[in-house]
Amino acid sequence: MSSPLAFPPSDDGTPRASRRPLFNPSTPGGATPGSIRFNDASSPLAFPEGSSSPMRQPETPRRLFRPSSDPPSGGPTPRSVRPRADLRSSAVRNNFRRAHSNMPPSTPGGEDRIAFPSSSAAPTHPTLSAQELPSADDTVERLAWGSTFTHREVFQAFSDFLRNFKAKYRTVFDRERRVPTQVVARPADGERLVYQGYLKTMLITDQYILNLDLIDLQAYAPTKKLHNALVKFPEEVVPMLDQCLADALEELVQTEGMDTDREHLDVAYRVRPFISDDVVNMRELNPSDTDKLVAIKGLVIRATPIIPDMSEAFFRCVICHHTMQVQIDRGRISEPDRCPRQVCASPGSMVLIHNRSSFADRQVVRLQETPDVVPAGQTPHTVSLACYDELVDIGKPGDRVIVTGIFRAVPVRSNPRQRAVKALFRTYLDVLHIQRGAPNRLGLDASTREDGDRRVGAMGVGGEDEDDVALTVDAERQDEEEEETRAKQMEATLKEISQRPDVYELLARSLAPSIWELEDVKKGILLQLFGGTNKSVANGGGGGGPRYRGDINVLLVGDPGTSKSQILQYVHKIAPRGVYTSGKGSSAVGLTAYVTRDPDSKQLVLESGALVLSDGGVCCIDEFDKMSDATRSVLHEVMEQQTVSIAKAGIITTLNARTSILAAANPVQSKYNPKWPITRNIDLPPTLISRFDLVYLVLDNIDESTDRRLAQHLVGMYLEDKPESAATDIIPVETLTAYISYARTKIQPRLTEEAGNELVTEYVALRKLGADARSSERRITATTRQLESMIRLSEAHARMRFSQLVELEDVKEACRLMREALRTSATDPTTGLLDMDLINTGSGAGQRRARADLKREVTRLASEMGAGGARAVKWTELQRELAKQSSVGVEASEFNEVVRALESEGAVRIAGERDKRTIQLVGGNA
């Protein structure tokens, strides 16, 4: 009764499914006439004659650690091992059905030649151990469905791999492929048993996942065939690897004499294979990849909440209380129509017991092509990912990930209540492994990640994740004194660079080395990549108060052809989480979030925009001046509070947008006019410009010497030989990103008392620049926003030096960068003096005085020409008379603003339209 094909007998004793014999007894040997083609030696279904039962289903699932004492008789039995949710249970049963429809029958009275999974066993796949394999003198070989490899071969090859794989095999294989490899410093390092160390780590750190790099299987000669089988038949091979891993851990416990008194009875040890070298574009996925192991990379754009996915249903009879478990078949529950007990057999008496059923955590993630791989003129492709158990919530929207999984294709039903399906199939990826980040991109800011973002044991042991900071490296390395890991070697290299006296200039030269000069601009952007420290400050100096941003915003304004867009593109390529967008092609909802309908659940969901996807990274916005007013309005909250408030379609929420903004803008007339303030040149509201920490003017000035050197640099880039003027002392981009990532992760600088006093002194000195003995009105030369910007720049400079304390030199460099940026962007073109009101309000103190003088002059002329307000004066005549008496030209727009301001104050009255407009002084104002 344990077989899925066992049916309860009917009243007359014959099975209910069919009353005719299953096999034809008239055929010799019990074979059908058409079975000759299946008995060919090349067929994967061919078995030796006379075999009675090629496969046996184990009665109970294997456990790594056994209880010290058996449970008492009649007591509860230990809970069965939880099955893998990423390998769907329907695969084995579907394979069986396909095999049974084409298999030749066995001899009468004999057993079937394919073992069926028992309905009472918890694992969704047959769990075969080495002890259950046939003996050496047995002629039976168990073949996996659709393949030509046997279970014996898989167990022997993978067991040998776990015991004997050495580091030198991978090094030699990488050299043969001519790819970068880890240098083996000593011969003893090459003899290290890699996976034996991983197994010990799993036992010590309570990890239950082993990350298996498929390149290691290729590098080891006995497992090359296993590598091909794993790629083509992952559904069959991965469960065997899981069982082999459990056997290897049990063997290690026995040989090492390790303590087994721990709660590991219900742990299902799993192997998560991943592909690191053959990552395909999601556009290249085609039907030939169905049910195979593939690896794709992309950008996570949406992740659903965690969904409970039933993996095993529990039914109970309401009459006799008989219970049974039913496996989920292709997402559907085969509810029994009657009680399976022969003494009961009551129809419609089986009910589903939810709290006794088994569920798996499930999450659907939407992966989109990264912008750098999308062909020109085409929209990016998207693929749905199905993540289960510990893989949920590993990838956040905005993360760039490399995903390894099984490519699936499922039919689409025209009506969910009917069996008819369409010829169109829906594809998705069952995820087996997720790898975040890339070696040439910056790491994530740890302050933007909550503690619960990564689940315990989710990353596992082995593979590329071995160097992840979330792992307990100290526990993993028992032979730490004998070897120096790659992470420690890189850390030593980075600390050596930080000790150089010219580290600041070295890193600035290495940032966008193809762009000539612009040293201060590069230094400002370099400090933006390092960033300040995110903190919460409350009264008394403790945490829990409002959050102060540590991200630095930079704006580049200048003439066309000054490499502004090139700098943005370079920063976007190395940013950890970043979106590159253009102001003209962006909308308010595209930058923040928009409401759409989920195609699966039909519910309204919130899709993240560019700023939300850049949370924890850098958002690059080109053509910043071309944005519409509605789009600019959403940036005010993002740039200061670093949040996005949404109230749309019944969804009221606040999203995090903890991102640094790097923007580039062109002047209104394509050429920057030095006689105009910056707010008039780029047509941006002053309230938005004031939220940038650094505003740089990148102008194209005519200078013969400068033009010659720039032309030589550009021409030298196209020469085969490196020109002599090219910078030679730079560090590679991988080292630069590793340097910045290490600083952002490890260094959290704090202000010292000396640095704090220097900041106060510099701020007061900057405020004193607004004093003017010729006028009672003081110019605003600095605000508290400039003080906070200097604090963030000081912290970023300390991070750049790998210093945990902000010292005097950090404050001096931050103040120098602030003064240089203000000198070019906040200088009044009429007076040549520094005036922050040009950025904060759009007009400086000199402009305000000139406008007040202009108001008095207009009032005087209107009184003289209108006989003290007795009659009205024509608009054009008053404007002409004002131009004659003024030593400085008065533009028509400025005259209009002054007259409108007088009208709003009640000083004059305007009548008529266009050329017939008249101005009359209100009585009492003469």
Give the least confident one: 16-30, 371-385, 588-602, 696-710.
Answer: 16-30
For position 678, what pLDDT does the model report?
Answer: 75
Residue 105 and residue 22 in contact, taking contact as beta carbons nearer than 8 Å: yes
Verify that 294 and 367 share a domain, yes or no. yes
Task: Name the percent of the chain in helix, strand, coil, to the closest 5.
Answer: 35, 20, 45
Verify that 883 and 789 share a domain, yes or no. no
C-alpha distances (whole Å) from 267 to each of 85, 203, 233, 261 are: 14, 12, 25, 14
Q: Which two tokens stand for residue 290?
A: 């169905």
For position 140, what pLDDT does the model report?
Answer: 55
854, part of any domain = yes
Bridge partners of 338, per DSSP, are 347
Verify that 831 and 878 share a domain, yes or no. no
Residue 405 or 606, more confident? 405
Verify that 813 and 799 share a domain, yes or no. yes
Q: Return phi, psi of residue 750, to 5°.
A: -125, 150
Look up the CATH number of the domain holding residue 738: 3.40.50.300
| CA gap 741, 440 in Å, rounded | 10
Strand ranges (E), 328-414? 350-352, 358-368, 382-388, 400-413
Q: Which two tokens stand for residue 297?
A: 């990379």
In one-letter notation, the amino acid at residue 285 is L
206, part of any domain = yes
Give the least confident one: 73-87, 350-364, 897-911.
Answer: 73-87
Residue 229 or 376, more confident? 229
Give the least confident one: 403-407, 518-522, 693-697, 872-876.
Answer: 872-876
DSSP string across 291-302: TSEEEEEEEEEE
Residue at a domain's end among 422, 441, 460: 441
Bridge partners of 660, per DSSP, are 618
pLDDT confidence bin for 405, thresholds 50/70/90: very high
DSSP string across 184-247: --SHHHHT-BHHHHHHHHHHHHT--EEEEEHHHHHHSGGGHHHHHHHHH-HHHHHHHHHHHHHH
Residue 790 and residue 811 in contact, taking contact as beta carbons nearer than 8 Å: yes
For position 263, what pLDDT does the model report?
Answer: 53
The whole-chain average pLDDT of the chain stands at 73
Q: Which of 132, 126, 130 is nearest to 87 (CA)?
A: 126
For position 73, what pLDDT does the model report?
Answer: 38
Q: Which of 200, 50, 34, 19 is nearest to 101 (CA)?
A: 34
| CA gap 908, 566 in Å, rounded | 52
617, part of any domain = no
Long-range contacts of 187-190 (CB under 8 A, 24+ apart): 188/482, 188/483, 189/483, 190/166
Verify that 825 and 899 share a domain, yes or no. no
For position 273, what pLDDT does the model report?
Answer: 92
Q: Which contiguous run of DSSP H or E holds residue 633?
A: helix 629-633
437, part of any domain = yes
| pLDDT tens per residue across span 538-549 | 544 444 556 678
pLDDT confidence bin for 403, thresholds 50/70/90: very high
Residues 6+ apart with CB under 8 A from 61: 80, 81, 121, 122, 123, 127
Q: Return phi, psi of residue 327, to 5°.
A: -75, 150
Residue 7 has pLDDT above 60, yes or no: no
Verify that 305 and 369 share a domain, yes or no. yes
For position 410, what pLDDT does the model report?
Answer: 87
For position 605, what pLDDT does the model report?
Answer: 78
- Per-residue HEC secondary structure of 885-912 comes to HCCCCCCHHHHHHHHHHHHHHCCEEEEC
Look up the CATH number of the domain holding residue 373: 2.40.50.140
| CA gap 43, 148 in Å, rounded | 8
Verify that 800 and 869 share a domain, yes or no. no
Residue 506 or 604, more confident? 506
For position 339, what pLDDT does the model report?
Answer: 93
| CA gap 329, 422 in Å, rounded | 19
Residue 91 has pLDDT above 60, yes or no: no
Residue with tokens 């108001």: 855
In one-letter notation, the amino acid at residue 669 is Q
Residue 174 or 179, more confident? 174
Look up the CATH number of the domain holding residue 164: 3.30.1640.10
Residue 608 and residue 627 in contact, taking contact as beta carbons nearer than 8 Å: no
pLDDT confidence bin for 34, thresholds 50/70/90: very low
Q: Which two tokens stand for residue 230?
A: 């794993």
Indicate the number of domains in the chain: 4
* Average pLDDT over every residue of 128-146: 52
In one-letter notation, the amino acid at residue 609 is G
Q: Which of 420, 921, 398 is nearest to 618 (CA)?
A: 398
> 797 in helix, strand or coil?
helix
Look up the CATH number of the domain holding residue 860: 1.10.10.10
For position 667, what pLDDT does the model report?
Answer: 87
8, part of any domain = no
Domain range enclosing 304:
282-441
238, part of any domain = yes
* Average pLDDT over every residue of 46-67: 39
Verify that 868 and 798 share a domain, yes or no. no
Give the least confident one: 92-101, 168-177, 724-733.
Answer: 92-101
For position 89, what pLDDT does the model report?
Answer: 41
C-alpha distances (whole Å) from 472 to each of 196, 202, 459, 464 are: 17, 11, 11, 15
Verify that 54 and 157 share a domain, yes or no. yes
| CA gap 594, 598 in Å, rounded | 12
| CA gap 847, 849 in Å, rounded | 5
DSSP string across 662-708: EEEE--TTSS--TTS-HHHHHT--HHHHTT-SEEEEE-----HHHHH
| CA gap 463, 194 in Å, rounded | 10
Q: Which two tokens stand for residue 753?
A: 């008392």
Residue 601 has pLDDT above 80, yes or no: no
Give the least confident one: 22-26, 192-196, 445-449, 854-858.
Answer: 22-26
Q: Tell me how far the alpha carbon of residue 61 is from its chain's centroid.
A: 37
Residue 365 and residue 395 in contact, taking contact as beta carbons nearer than 8 Å: yes
In eight-state DSSP terms, residue 123 is: S
Burial class (CB in 10 A: 0-12, 13-18, 19+), 724: exposed
Give the least confident one: 205-214, 431-440, 689-698, 716-725.
Answer: 716-725
| pLDDT tens per residue across span 203-220 | 888 888 899 989 999 889
| pLDDT tens per residue across span 110-129 | 333 333 333 333 333 444 44
Residue 567 or 831, more confident? 567
For position 553, what pLDDT does the model report?
Answer: 92
Share of the chain above pLDDT 90, in %: 12
Residue 55 and residue 142 in contact, taking contact as beta carbons nearer than 8 Å: yes
Verify that 790 and 882 share a domain, yes or no. no
Share of the chain above pLDDT 70, in %: 69
Residues 6+ apart with CB under 8 A from 323: 314, 315, 316, 317, 353, 356
Q: Which of 302, 360, 359, 312 is nearest to 333 (CA)?
A: 312
For position 481, what pLDDT does the model report?
Answer: 40
Residue at a domain's end among 409, 424, 441: 441
Give the Cβ contact number of residue 188 at 10 Å. Answer: 12
Residue 529 has pLDDT above 80, yes or no: yes
Q: Which two tokens stand for residue 532?
A: 């300040």
Residue 224 has pLDDT above 50, yes or no: yes
215, part of any domain = yes
Residue 401 or 700, more confident? 401
Residue with tokens 């006379």: 50
Residue 480 or 160, more confident? 160
Residue 99 has pLDDT above 50, yes or no: no
For position 317, what pLDDT does the model report?
Answer: 94
For position 627, what pLDDT does the model report?
Answer: 83
Residue with tokens 């790998």: 802
Residue 851 or 484, more confident? 851
| Highest-scoring range by mean pLDDT, 57-71, 748-762, 778-792 | 748-762
Strand pairing report for 323-327 and 400-413 = unpaired
Residue at a domain's end among 216, 241, 274: 274
| CA gap 13, 572 in Å, rounded | 74
The Cα diameter of the chain in Å comes to 130
Verify that 682 and 704 share a domain, yes or no. yes
Verify that 753 and 864 share a domain, yes or no. no
| CA gap 232, 921 in Å, rounded | 91
pLDDT confidence bin for 798, thresholds 50/70/90: very high
| pLDDT tens per residue across span 652-699 | 888 888 888 999 988 887 788 877 777 777 778 878 888 888 988 888
Strand pairing report for 350-352 and 535-536 = unpaired
Residue 111 or 853, more confident? 853
| CA gap 17, 20 in Å, rounded | 9
* Average pLDDT over every residue of 155-173: 88
| CA gap 161, 220 in Å, rounded | 7
Residue 347 or 714, more confident? 347
Residue 115 and residue 54 in contact, taking contact as beta carbons nearer than 8 Å: yes
Strand pairing report for 421-436 and 382-388 = parallel
383, part of any domain = yes
Give the chain's length.
926
For position 905, what pLDDT does the model report?
Answer: 77
